[in-house]
Amino acid sequence: AKAEGRGTHRLFESQMGVQVRDRRLLEHDLRGALVSQQLSLVYQPQVDLESGEVSGFEALVRWIHPERGAVPPSTFIPIAEETGLILQLGEWVMRTACIQAASWTAPLMIAVNVSAVQLHAPNFVAFIERLLAETGLAPERLEIEITETAMIRNMNRALANLRQIKALGVKVAMDDFGTGYSSLSNLRAFPFDRIKVDQSFIRSVHDNDQSAAIVRAVLGLGKGLNLPILAEGVERLEELDFLRGEICDAAQGYWFSRPEDISAFEDVVRGSRKT
Ligand code: C2E
Ligand code: CA
Ligand code: CA
Ligand code: CA
């Protein structure tokens, strides 16, 4: 099978999705990756649109497989969630991101993705509390990003954990707003500090009236509820111009920067330059 070459394998994988046998192999390899330093974090700036300055970074995990090369998170995160490996992986991500942010001179925010499995784990809050104490990171500088789908699994448990996390001073953002099991009642039920509008709406905002109307409505909602809005996946100047015109609070996307190794942002985290 190896002789078929990786090109064939990649093509197959991208067209058909990861097959069962392949998933099992990946699961096995992911366990190894956790202990053999194949995982790393990249960071993507989040920009305050009023000041134009970087307010923080979202940490995104990367896996460089020794034979396959880069495996996208959209492939291995679901596997990690199904197998429970996400608990270990998530703790590694959280710890690495907090240690990184604690080392910055500029008191910028660090946003970390947290999956449903983690949010529902009984020791999650205690882990965060211990980590903040260990790293000395100010709780207000940490923001966890959660999707609505993550909340829905077990509402009560999720809500209880979120309240405790917020009581620590940690911020909570609703990720991918507008996709999945979106419901406006979630905005009222859960104590979010801000909303990240999914990139699928931003992508077409400058040439699609429906997307523009949706984004406008979400921005209005944010104002009414006093919830800052961050627009995800801003790739073009037209998109940014639209968002500025509609008074969107913050944005993130390739227009500003792709997610990069933190060394690419040395000046920013030192507080000596803007971007
Ligand atoms: P997400 O949290 O919605 O992250 C945003 C994704 O969009 C990232 O993909 C990012 O690289 C990509 N992106 C950012 N700006 C742009 C843009 O302007 N255009 C386009 N086309 N894409 C942009 P990535 O890094 O591949 O991550 C995919 C998803 O995997 C994330 O979506 C998140 O759900 C999950 N993920 C990544 N890292 C972690 C992690 O550490 N823990 C957990 N639980 N999930 C993670
Ligand atoms: Ca996110
Ligand atoms: Ca998102
Ligand atoms: Ca997403």
Whole-number pLDDT of residue 12: 56
Task: Establish whether this prediction's ipTM goes over 0.90.
Answer: yes
Output the CA 60–ligand 1 centroid distance in Å: 6
What is the pLDDT confidence band of residue 1, given thresholds at 50, 70 and 90? Answer: very low
- Mean pLDDT to the nearest integer, 51-61: 98
The C-alpha atoms of residue 199 and residue 62 are separated, in whole angstroms, by: 20
Find residue 243's DSSP bridge partners: none
Does the Cβ of 72 fall within 6 Å of ligand 1?
yes
Whole-number pLDDT of residue 186: 81
Whole-number pLDDT of residue 153: 73
Whole-number pLDDT of residue 3: 47
**Burial of residue 57, with CB atoms counted within 10 A of its CB: 0-12 exposed, 13-18 middle, 19 or more buried:** buried
Output the CA 176–ligand 3 centroid distance in Å: 4
Average pLDDT, the chain: 91
60, 114, 146, 200: which to mutate for ligand 1, most atoms within 8 A of CB? 60
Structure tokens at 14: 């991208």
